[in-house]
Amino acid sequence: MSSISHYCVERRLSACLSKHISQETPYYFAMTQPRLLVIQHDLDDALNDLTAPLLDAGLMIDTWCTFRSDAPDEPLESFDGVLSLGALASATEEDSTPWIRGEIAVLEEALARRMPILGVCFGAQLLARAAGGRVYRSPVAEIGWFEVTMALEAAADPVLGSLGPNLHVFQSHYDTFDLPAEATVLGRTGELTEAFRIGDRAWAVQFHIEANPSLVYSWLAVYKDAMLKAGVDIDELRRFTASYWREYRQASWDLATAFAGEVWAAKA
C-alpha cells in the first residue's frame, strides 16, 4: 500500500462495537466485521453525519479518495458494501476526470456481485450510469432545502423506508438522470427523481444525506457567489438549516443504520 493511499484509507472500529463484540466474542469474529468501501471525491465532502451511525452499527470503513488515487487499494471482493459520496465534478465529465470511468466500473462490478450500495448525490448519478441510465444537466438547479415526497413503495423499503413519507433535505447539484427500466423510483421533488433503488441491494439519494450545519455553512462560505448566481436566498438557506437540521440528522442516522444492516445481512 502506497504512503499516499495509506494516508487516505480510514479503518475505524466504533467504541460502540460492544453491542456486537464482548470479551467472550471469539477473536476471529472481531476481525471479520463487514468492510464498507467509502468513495470520497472531494476533501470537503466526507461522510460527516453518516460516520457515527455506520461505526455504531459495527462496520469497518475504508475510504478510497479519488482525488489522491485513481483506484481503491484492494479489489472489490475485499469489501462487503460500497458507499459513493458527492462531488464537485459532473458525472458526465469522464474525459476531464479520469477516475470517473474507473468508479463506474467499480459500481458495475458491485451491482453484478449484488453488494449493498448507497449512492449520495454525485454517487447516485454514477450509480444510475453504472446501471445503464443517463445523466444530464437538470432544467432546474437544486441548491438549498427542498421537500422530498417519498413514493408509497418506499414505506416497505428496508433502507429508504426509514425516511418516512416526506422529508426536508439539503441539495446541491446541477445534474439529474434518467433511470434504467429495472430501477424503482422511491422519492421525488416535482418531476425530478430524488431517491431510487436498483434491484434489491442498491440505493441512491440525490440529496446530501450526510450534510450537517458545519458542512452547509462551509459550502456557503466557499461557494456563495455560485449560490447567488443560481438564485439561492442565502438568508433563507441559513434559516432553513437551523430549522431542519435536527430532523435531518435523525434521518441520516436512521438511513445509515438501515444500510449498515443490509451490509451485515449480505456478509452473513
Catalytic residues: 121, 208, 210
Distance (Å, whole) CA 82 – CA 111: 10
Task: Give the strand pairing for 192-198 and 183-189.
Answer: antiparallel
Tell me the three cell numbers of residue 193: 427523481
Distances in whole angstroms, Cα of residue 15 to Cα of each of 21, 24, 266? 10, 17, 23
What would the grid cell of residue 1 be?
500500500
* Distance of alpha carbon 202 from alpha carbon 33, whole angstroms: 20
Return the amino acid letter for 220: L
Structural contact between residues 129 and 225, judged by C-beta atoms closer than 8 angstroms: no
Nearest to 116 by CA among 10, 254, 259: 259
Beta bridge partners of residue 196, listed in sequence order:
185, 204
Instruction: Return the C-alpha cell found at 212.
Output: 450537517
Angle at 57 between CA 61 and CA 157, to 5 degrees: 105
Q: Are 110 and 76 in contact (CB under 8 A)?
A: yes
Which of 252, 176, 260, 161 minimizes the C-alpha distance to 215? 252
